[in-house]
Structure 1
Amino acid sequence: MQENYLIDIARWSERPGARGIPSICSAHPLVIEAAMLSARREGTPVLIEATCNQVNQDGGYTGMTPADFTRFVGAIADRLDFPRDRILLGGDHLGPNPWKHLPAEKAMAKAETMIEAYAKAGFTKLHLDTSMGCAGEPIALPDATTAARAARLAAVAENAIRDRGGILPVYIIGTEVPIPGGALEELDVLEVTAPEAAIETVRVHREAFKEAGAAGAFSRVVGAVVQPGVEFGNGNVIAYDRSKAAKLSASLRRLEGMVFEAHSTDYQTREALRELVADGFAILKVGPGLTFALREALYGLDQIAAFLFPGKRERSLAEVTEAVMREEPVYWGKYYHGSADEQRIQRHFSYSDRIRYYWPHQKMAEAVDELMALLDGVTIPETLISQFLAGSYARVRDGEVAPQAKPLALAAIDAVLQDYFAACRL
């Protein structure tokens, strides 16, 4: 049986090569394509993750089940001739969160169905997150309850693959991060996870897995989610300060075979990412930062198209985006606050990048298709790239990036990914 690539991630620092791995948390096809192209250049596998809200048995906000997502990613790989055996699929925040408005037992039953679907669809990295209270429960649950529910889901996943063969999944436990989707408010300071809390989380999960008859699954728990002190709000980024995380990092010596998984590392500098990996936060989750870069590129192309082809479209991409988000505020309404003008800025330019939820919307997809069709085959003047896509200008001048719409969009995403892959090489 082929062994899971991540099974010995805690030992990577002892040998040449990668010390960590970027976790690409996005369902956007251009982001996934850019990630595969970057991984091919680096000569490494690519880890692509879907969240419980994004992909589940009910379709999530992408409309995809886990099996659909597997096929979706596989089709992109086949088109790029990227080997499928170099793709690692992960499920993030797998638990009752999408159904926490229901009583606990009903929500957990839905979560069991979801994780079974993830396991059967070939996802081999499963983050168990059962920390949230359901109807009638407190917002945060005691460690023992969280661990018991996580172990229950692990047992379901193990049973789902019992007769399947193939690669056994690794598990991630813990949830010292904002809820799936991001923080609800502007952030000022963060409290780094206490070392004792991380160690206790692992201890109670080990006991719970044993009681649930899933001790074998716990032997494949390779990481714990903790808060190393990194996060972003709508308009600010809290940078990594390794001095504040030093005690937490040192606690890994008491957690043999495990690393820490850092969520919300988006917008950290390359040096900060490098320090995170060196300090044991070997799995670096990134999502909104990638679609933020994509949005920047698409908006730049939007302005280029308006200048090159005035009057060719009824509405710009930015105008369509504004109309759709105002008509359907479900994905941003509770996240963006302030005056009408402040909310308008956040809708388009927030670090939280709530636009990412709207790209699958029919009107948005049609607007992007219209933009790309208008620029199809067009060699964009370098001077316009300098004006509207300055981040890619040097690479265009050097001949690394073609001065055309799709390569420029991919290059914007790749610029972010380069920081992650470089950080993981140390």
Structure 2
Amino acid sequence: MFSFLSDLANAHRNGINAGITSVCSAHPLVVRAALRRGRAFNQIVLIEATCNQVNQFGGYTGMTPADFVAFVQAIAREEGFDRSRLIFGGDHVGPIPWRKLAAEEALGNAETMVADYVKAGFTKIHLDASMGCAGEPAALDDEVTAQRAARLAKAAENAAATSGFALPHYVIGTEVPVPGGADHELTEVTPTDPAAARKTIVIHRERFAREGLQQAFDRVIGLVVQPGVEFGNENVIEYRPDRAANLTEVLADEPQFVFEAHSTDYQTRGSLSALVRDGFPILKVGPGLTFALREALYGLDLIASELLPDYGDRSLARAMEKLMLEKPAHWASHYHGTDTALHVQRHYSYSDRIRYYWTEPDAIASVDRLINTLRGTEIPETLLRQFLPSLGTDTGASYDPETILISAIDRVLADYSAACDWYPHSAATRREVWTPTIL
């Protein structure tokens, strides 16, 4: 395991742009792309699962924490990735999946979940107990949130002590963008008030001490705040350093911490680099990766339609439309407008709620059919230019469909790698100043 996460604050204080990409996805091609890049550039790879996605009841992926670790590690073996350089993170770990239940029942489930995460080998845990349960306000105050976060931390500490797994690092704070993006067009997003960020730290520090969890609090590495970034269905709010300047000053008074930035999807490489520079070195990305995957899948779908008459007309896109109409739960309350607007959002929204459907049997079958249909087929360069122009023509002479899909994902990951550019291969001087410690 790495002390890399706890070294991020020290790196920031020394003016070193050391960061890490938090890959928040359970899609096998996204995980494979992240691990392939990690192997190629000798990177530490952080893969995160959310509490709705992975929990003791399976979440929407059907995977428990142990299942998720086994799933990622299997891909790591296939890719020849050194699993000692792999960090597992749990995101929004708390009672959120059970918020319709009474608080005590929901928190009991959350305690079991966080213990299962730690026992499975997750060593980065974002404690999120901010959301109210049945009969409570939608958002809880700092005192209640901190009390519940400490309760979850105690469960995690006990699980680590009894299972022999590493004691986890924690992230606290919950002022984050709407999960999966906003439902409406955005014009601006206000960064977290610095006073609110300071208050969150103070109250959590006091509560953890009161519960005998000082050693656990010493392993709190980050605070989730809103840096002023977000994406809606149709637009992206880009990071503006000037608006977050007062917020970043909080880190000067709290040398233990860095900020964790959620919803950094679709930010430019320059904005991502500015976030790392300003103390947001943990950059979470999820929908942006599966959005790139969907773009490439639909591009290949069009290529197959043009190139192979027996394939049909946009077979994959039609199958996904049918599936989403039959099972609207993942998008119906998030997309709005006319029938045409809803159709566009189902397939092309930045919120990318189509990502919830790729694990459905019908979707898997349609993607497999597309890949198998094109595998071994020489794709003319002109069709690639027409339907996948952003990839260029450097994805491999055979234009293997899986290579094309991973290349599309990797183009996004490359921007994050550039922003988090501490890697020794890229600057010898940085190796002399700061190198992540392996424990």
Q: 1:49 touches 1:92 (CA, 8 Å); kept in 2?
A: yes
Matches within 5 A, 1:127-206: 127-206=126-205
Structure 1 residue 300 displacement after superposition: 0.4
SS of 1:88's equivalent in the other structure is strand
Query: How many angstroms apart in 2 are the aligned matches of 1:392 and 1:314?
Result: 23
Give the corresponding residue for 1:104: 103
Q: 2:39 touches 2:82 (CA, 8 Å); kept in 1?
A: no
Give the corresponding residue for 1:257: 256
Q: 1:53 touches 1:180 (CA, 8 Å); kept in 2?
A: no
Q: 1:155 touches 1:213 (CA, 8 Å); kept in 2?
A: no
Give the corresponding residue for 1:273: 272
SS of 1:243's equivalent in the other structure is helix
Structure 1 residue 163 displacement after superposition: 3.1
Amino acid at match of 2:214: A
CA deviation map 1:7-34 (0-9, x unaligned): 2211124679761111000000000111
Give the corresponding residue for 1:338: 337
Query: How many angstroms apart in 1 are the aligned matches of 2:227 and 2:9?
Result: 17
Query: How many angstroms apart in 2 are the aligned matches of 1:305 and 1:394?
Result: 17
SS of 2:62's equivalent in the other structure is coil
Amino acid at match of 1:419: D
- Please say if 1:418 is aligned against 2:414: yes
Query: How many angstroms apart in 2 are the aligned matches of 1:65 and 1:83?
Result: 23
Q: 1:359 touches 1:365 (CA, 8 Å); kept in 2?
A: yes
CA deviation map 1:364-397 (0-9, x unaligned): 111001111101122311111111111111434x
In structure 2, do the counterparts of structure 1 residues 177 and 268 end up closer, same or farther at CA, with 3 Å as the change threshold? same
- Please say if 1:21 is aligned against 2:7: no
Query: How many angstroms apart in 2 are the aligned matches of 1:70 and 1:369?
Result: 24
Query: How many angstroms apart in 2 are the aligned matches of 1:315 and 1:180?
Result: 30
Amino acid at match of 1:57: Q
Structure 1 residue 38 displacement after superposition: 1.4
Query: How many angstroms apart in 2 are the aligned matches of 1:16 and 1:240?
Result: 20
Query: How many angstroms apart in 2 are the aligned matches of 1:110 and 1:182?
Result: 26
Q: 2:221 touches 2:258 (CA, 8 Å); kept in 1?
A: yes
Q: 1:261 touches 1:282 (CA, 8 Å); kept in 2?
A: yes
Query: How many angstroms apart in 2 are the aligned matches of 1:186 and 1:314?
Result: 32
In structure 2, do the counterparts of structure 1 residues 402 and 153 end up closer, same or farther at CA, with 3 Å as the change threshold? farther
Identity rate of aligned residues, in percent? 56
Give me the TM-score of the superposition, normalised by structure 1. 0.96
Amino acid at match of 1:424: C
In structure 2, do the counterparts of structure 1 residues 279 and 18 end up closer, same or farther at CA, with 3 Å as the change threshold? closer
CA deviation map 1:216-244 (0-9, x unaligned): 11000000000000000000100100000
In structure 2, do the counterparts of structure 1 residues 14 and 244 end up closer, same or farther at CA, with 3 Å as the change threshold? closer
Amino acid at match of 1:421: S
Q: 2:181 touches 2:350 (CA, 8 Å); kept in 1?
A: no
- Please say if 1:388 is aligned against 2:396: no
Give the corresponding residue for 1:74: 73
In structure 2, do the counterparts of structure 1 residues 402 and 145 end up closer, same or farther at CA, with 3 Å as the change threshold? farther
Question: Unaligned stretches of 5+ in structure 1?
Answer: none
CA deviation map 1:92-130 (0-9, x unaligned): 000111100011111111111110110100000000011
Matches within 5 A, 1:12-91: 12-13=11-12, 19-91=18-90
Query: How many angstroms apart in 2 are the aligned matches of 1:39 and 1:350?
Result: 29
CA deviation map 1:245-280 (0-9, x unaligned): 000011110111210000000000000000000000
CA deviation map 1:306-347 (0-9, x unaligned): 111113358700000000001101000111001111010000
Amino acid at match of 1:286: V
Query: How many angstroms apart in 1 are the aligned matches of 2:30 and 2:376?
Result: 21
Give me the TM-score of the superposition, normalised by structure 2. 0.93
Amino acid at match of 2:310: G
- Please say if 1:307 is aligned against 2:306: yes
**183-192 or 370-379, which deviates more:** 183-192
Q: 1:270 touches 1:419 (CA, 8 Å); kept in 2?
A: yes
Structure 1 residue 195 displacement after superposition: 0.8
Give the corresponding residue for 1:409: 405
Amino acid at match of 1:196: A
**313-322 or 188-197, which deviates more:** 313-322
Q: 1:3 touches 1:167 (CA, 8 Å); kept in 2?
A: no
Query: How many angstroms apart in 2 are the aligned matches of 1:280 and 1:13?
Result: 6
How many corresponding residue pairs? 422
Matches within 5 A, 1:360-371: 360-371=359-370
Q: 2:9 touches 2:257 (CA, 8 Å); kept in 1?
A: yes
Structure 1 residue 167 displacement after superposition: 2.8
Give the corresponding residue for 2:437: none
Q: 1:294 touches 1:412 (CA, 8 Å); kept in 2?
A: yes
Give the corresponding residue for 1:217: 216
Amino acid at match of 1:425: D
Give the corresponding residue for 2:425: none
In structure 2, do the counterparts of structure 1 residues 166 and 110 end up closer, same or farther at CA, with 3 Å as the change threshold? closer
Query: How many angstroms apart in 2 are the aligned matches of 1:241 and 1:314?
Result: 43
Give the corresponding residue for 1:317: 316
In structure 2, do the counterparts of structure 1 residues 36 and 3 end up closer, same or farther at CA, with 3 Å as the change threshold? closer
Query: How many angstroms apart in 2 are the aligned matches of 1:213 and 1:338?
Result: 52
In structure 2, do the counterparts of structure 1 residues 234 and 135 end up closer, same or farther at CA, with 3 Å as the change threshold? same
Query: How many angstroms apart in 1 are the aligned matches of 2:187 and 2:154?
Result: 39
Q: 2:39 touches 2:80 (CA, 8 Å); kept in 1?
A: no
Q: 1:4 touches 1:170 (CA, 8 Å); kept in 2?
A: no
In structure 2, do the counterparts of structure 1 residues 87 and 409 end up closer, same or farther at CA, with 3 Å as the change threshold? same
In structure 2, do the counterparts of structure 1 residues 130 and 267 end up closer, same or farther at CA, with 3 Å as the change threshold? same
